[in-house]
Chains A and B, each alone.
Chain A
């Protein structure tokens, strides 16, 4: 990373020997005091000169009861890996006095700074002193005897605002992506995000959409042409992209937790219900279509009604991918949030959603193309999609109800499906029956798991196995490792951080309804090498499952748009914002990341 940034510097180093300004030409400091005894300190910098934010110091040299109350500094920008001022900065300094002070006092102010020329020369740290006659009657009283923090660097390090966590010399992946949008050209951005979308399509978040789109195509009935299947899939994906973009832009603009917006319980219940309704229509209980009157208005042939339904489903499906927070999405949201440039950010999001949708179009078209000839098979295929859709409905409920409930529902669904397949029928086909029996037994196992309090769908009967033998030879391994301490509010976290001062801390934002979080837990955190390395850290898990006021405050304090997100703290409990990981990460890559810390 550092190398790349340094290489970029090369572009600014000119071939001809540059003529450098002398320090007193490059930087012209000035400071004046107004009638209200506020000081405005300005450093005029010449062309192509920049100042390091962390090297700027403002302090009062003489000790006669007048101190600095507050310094307001302009926003710095990231430049060659450092926070700098590219334009002449002005600092507004407010003074205060001790209660014993009165009358006119002599105040000596020192302004120190250091900067470089873009042509590759760094100047020495410089400072200038200013002396003022300060009328202390105009100053406010210092609230405590404590000396306030004088230099800006220290103020900026206070983790009081989300913004500050971004003021670091390095940038995290999502910030880097946000910067990409800020600097690159539009075509490049759109292509990059299309690529991100394609990558996102490989993650589990898009899987639930596969049965939906195929189901929609198949339910269009007999003899659907490839062309129509394509058109329908395209409409579905476009609608999804539009919805996703709108949600993303709003979330970015209002700085809301995207998850929070997309997982209010009543919203989830209603969408879950929509999927149930859709599934039942697949079973042939009724036909889902718009009222005839409306259909006639839209199109005389009635042929178009399919598109409207598909578009609505696509729009709703954005809800499903909502919880998939990955670096590119967060990057786009950070960009929109920071610049308020909803147009470019929105375009990036739209491009990403299209990328995410391309595999779905492929699925939709093939569903249309390889649809079996009408007949008994046809009913079976629609029924399978119906079951999948019910599965999606239950999966959505996972975000708001407990595992016991959803697993019981899954079990019920599986049992019902097995019965439908003819598990109890004598004359059913051998193959069909054996599948049915497997589904039946598995679903039964899930149900037994529910009764035994197991939450796993993969190993529902895990409770039968004594825990000591579960991991075979590496039993002791599991016992000796640290586990996460759960927190749900800023206060709890701060307390833990204070207790663990001097240690490195890993904070994991987690929620029960977050698929990628579970993947992270079961794949990455379960890796033995990763576990060993993670023992070097104090492990804290921010559980944002409930997403109430406390959880939202916690997320927004660390600029988390939604779980999973891994935040690292150094020994001084400072956030290492450049090390933040958003979304799922593979064990090998994660290990490499941990080793860098």
Chain B
């Protein structure tokens, strides 16, 4: 059931080119099934870099399309949500790219503009 809802929302989200954020636990399951990379975004309320990523970078159609195609995106509010073990940070936003076995592939500190974030996603895909 969970999966159907997710697939529908995934379908809808690609229509509207929005990033589809899922729970960390679901992400591991989905990454396994769909053979995708997990992207975890650690953010917090009132962080300008996080807002920039959400409002500008993830609104970029190319980026949201690529994220939908190759990644499972997880959003963690470090003040409210459970932080997956081992994901340390010195500030927000911090991005982790993990494989389905929760092995760390890449860690990025801070915000990026759309172009460099795109390059980064491609680099992560190429490496794995």
Give the B-binding residues of A (Cβ under 8 A): 2-3, 6-7, 9-10, 13, 15, 17-18, 20, 22-23, 52, 80, 82, 116-117, 119-124
Residues of A within 8 A of B55 (CB): 2-3, 6
CB pair B92–A121 under 8 Å, yes or no, is yes
Is there contact, CB below 8 Å, between A13 and B113? yes
Q: Which of B34-56 contact A (CB under 8 A)?
A: 44, 46-52, 55-56
A6 and B56 form a contact (CB under 8 A)? yes
Q: Enumerate chain B residues within 8 angstroms of A123, measured Cβ to Cβ.
A: 90-91
* Separation of A10 and B51 alpha carbons in the complex (Å): 12
> Which residues from chain A contact B47 at a C-beta distance below 8 Å?
116, 122
Are B91's CB and A122's CB within 8 A? yes
A116 vs B51: C-alpha distance in the bound complex, in angstroms?
13
Give the interface residue-count category, chain B: 20 to 34
> Contacts A2-B55, A7-B56, A122-B44 given: A117-B91 contact, CB under 8 Å?
yes
Dominant secondary structure of chain B at its interface with chain A:
mixed
How far is A532 from B52 in the complex, measured between Cα atoms in Å?
37
Chain B residues with Cβ under 8 A from A20's Cβ? 90-91, 109-110
| Residues of chain B contacted by A13 (CB below 8 angstroms) | 52, 110-113, 116
B113 & A80 in contact (Cβ 8 Å cutoff): no
**Contact B56–A121 (Cβ < 8 Å):** no
Chain A residue numbers with a CB within 8 Å of B104 are none
Q: A6-B51, A82-B48 are contacts. A116–B108 as well, Cβ < 8 Å? A: no
Chain A, residue nearest B111 (CB): A120
Q: Can you list 5 A-B contacts with CB-CB less than 8 angstroms, sorted by A residue number?
A: A7-B56, A13-B52, A17-B108, A119-B110, A121-B94
Interface of chain B residues 82 through 128 with chain A (CB within 8 A): 90-94, 108-116
Most buried by A among B93, B108, B110, B112: B110
Closest to A11 in B: B113
- Find out whether the CB atom of B51 lies under 8 angstroms from the CB atom of A22: no
- Which listed residue, B52, B90, B115, touches A120 by the CB 8 Å rule? B52
Most chain A C-beta atoms within 10 Å of own C-beta, residue among B52, B94, B116: B52
**Alpha-carbon separation in the docked complex, A546 to B47 (Å):** 48
Chain B residues contacting A18 (CB-CB under 8 Å) are 109-110
Contacts of B56 in A (CB 8 A): 3, 6-7, 10
B52 touches A121 (CB 8 A): no
Which 5 residue pairs across A and B have the least CB separation, nearest first? Answer: A120-B111, A121-B110, A122-B47, A120-B49, A123-B91
- Tell me the complex Cα distance, A121–B90, Å: 9
Cross-chain contact B116 with A9 (CB below 8 angstroms): no
What is the chain B residue whose CB lies nearest that of A121?
B110
CB distance from B13 to the nearest CB of A (A): 21
Contact B90 A80 (CB under 8 A): no
A10 to B55 CA separation, bound complex (whole angstroms): 12
Most chain-B CB neighbours within 10 Å: which of A20, A82, A121? Answer: A121
Rounded to whole angstroms, the CA-CA distance of A52 and B78 in the bound complex is 19
Residue picked from B94, B109, B115, B116, most chain A C-beta under 10 Å:
B109
Q: Closest residue of chain A to B120, judged by CB?
A: A17
A143 to B: closest C-beta gap in Å: 35
**Complex CA–CA separation, A10 to B114 (angstroms):** 9
Chain B residue nearest to A10 in the complex (CB):
B113
Per the bound structure, the CA–CA distance linking A119 and B115 in Å amounts to 15
CB B46 to nearest CB in A, in angstroms, measures 8
Point out the residues of chain A lying under 8 angstroms from B93, CB to CB. Answer: 120-122
The reply to whether B90 and A122 form a contact with Cβ atoms under 8 Å apart is no
Bound Cα distance A300, B94 (Å): 81
**Neighbour of B111 across the interface among A2, A3, A15, A121, CB < 8 A:** A121
For window 5-61 of chain B, which residues contact chain A by CB distance below 8 Å?
Answer: 44, 46-52, 55-56
Besides the contacts A13-B111, A116-B91, what 12 more A-B pairs have beta carbons closer than 8 Å? A3-B55, A3-B56, A6-B55, A9-B48, A13-B116, A20-B110, A120-B48, A120-B93, A121-B49, A121-B90, A121-B91, A122-B50
CB distance from A484 to the nearest CB of B (A): 37
Residues of chain A with a CB closer than 8 A to B111's CB: 9, 13, 119-121
With the chains together, A15 CA to B116 CA distance in Å? 6
> A7 vs B116: C-alpha distance in the bound complex, in angstroms?
15
Q: A20-B90, A22-B90 are in contact. Are A117 and B51 (CB under 8 A)?
A: no
- How far, in Å, is B106 (CB) from chain A's closest CB? 11
Complex partner residue of A15 from B91, B108, B109, B115, CB under 8 angstroms: B115
A residues within 8 A CB of B91? 20, 23, 116-117, 121-124
Q: In the bound complex, how far is the Cα of B52 from the Cα of A6, in angstroms?
A: 6
In the bound complex, residues from chain B placing their C-beta under 8 Å from that of A23 are 90-91
User: In B54-87, which residues have CB < 8 Å from any A CB?
Assistant: 55-56, 78
| A119 / chain B contacts, CB cutoff of 8 Å | 110-111
Chain B residues with Cβ below 8 Å from A116 are 47-49, 91
| Nearest B-chain residue to A82, judged by Cβ | B48
Chain B nearest CB from A49 CB (Å) reads 11
CB closest residue in chain B, given A80 = B48
Report the separation of the CA atoms of residues A117 and B109 in the bound assembly, to the nearest whole angstrom.
11
A52 contact set on B, CB distance < 8 A: 46
Docked CA distance A80–B111 (Å): 15
B23 to chain A minimum Cβ distance, whole angstroms, is 23
Q: How far is the CB of A538 from chain B (nearest CB, A)?
A: 30
Cα distance, A22 to B109, chains bound together (Å)? 11
* B50 smallest CB distance to A (angstroms): 7
Flag if B116 contacts A120 (CB, 8 Å).
no
Q: With the chains together, A129 CA to B80 CA distance in Å?
A: 25
Distance from B96 Cβ to chain A, minimum over Cβ atoms (Å) = 14
* A3 vs B46: C-alpha distance when bound (angstroms): 15
With A and B bound together, what is the CA distance between A82 and B116 in angstroms? 26
Nearest chain A CB to B19's CB is how many angstroms away? Answer: 16
Residue of A nearest to B53 (CB): A120
Complex interface: chain A residues within 8 A of B115 (CB): 15
Chain B residues near A122: list those with CB within 8 A.
44, 46-50, 91-93
Cα A13 to Cα B110 in complex, Å, equals 9
B58 to chain A minimum Cβ distance, whole angstroms, is 12
Cα distance A9–B91 when bound, in Å? 17
The answer to whether B109 and A121 have CB atoms under 8 Å apart is yes
Minimal Cβ-Cβ distance residue in B for A115: B91
